[in-house]
Amino acid sequence: MKNSRAFLVIAFIPVLLVSACPGRNPLGTPSCKSGTCIKVDFTPAAKMAETCTLTLTVNSEVDDPDLKVYLAISAADVVVEGPPNLVAGNPGWNAPIKSRQPMTLTARMRFPNEGYFQIVGYALANDGRDVFQGLWIHVTAGGVTPNPPPERGPGTPAPAIKVDKTETARPRTVTPIPPPTQPAYP
pLDDT digits (tens, 9 = 90+) for 36-57: 888 988 888 888 778 899 888 8
CA distance 172 to 167: 15
* 143-176 pLDDT per residue, tens: 888 888 777 666 777 666 666 666 566 666 777 7
Sheet strands (E) in the chain: 31-33, 36-43, 52-60, 68-73, 79-81, 92-94, 103-110, 115-124, 130-140, 143-146
Identify the CA nearest to 34 among candidates 166, 158, 132.
132
Lowest mean pLDDT among 3-7, 23-27, 105-109, 115-119: 23-27
What would you measure as the largest C-alpha separation in the chain, in angstroms? 90
- Of 173 and 102, the one with more pLDDT: 102
- Structural fold of domain 2-146: Immunoglobulin-like (2.60.40)
pLDDT at residue number 152: 64
162 vs 128 pLDDT, higher one:
128
Q: Can you tell me the mean pLDDT for 14-34?
A: 54
Under a CB-based contact definition with an 8 Å cutoff, are residues 71 and 92 in contact? yes
Burial status of residue 129 (CB atoms within 10 A of its CB: 0-12, 13-18, 19 or more): middle
Distance CA 69, CA 106 (A): 11
126: pLDDT strictly greater than 70: yes
Q: How far apart are the C-alpha atoms of 36 and 59, rounded to whole Å?
A: 6
Q: How far apart are CA 170 and CA 147, in angstroms?
A: 47
What percent of the chain has pLDDT above 70? 68
User: What's the pLDDT band for 22 if we cut at 50, 70, 90?
Assistant: very low
Q: Assess contact for 19 and 72: CB atoms under 8 A.
A: no
**Residue 66 per-residue DSSP state:** T
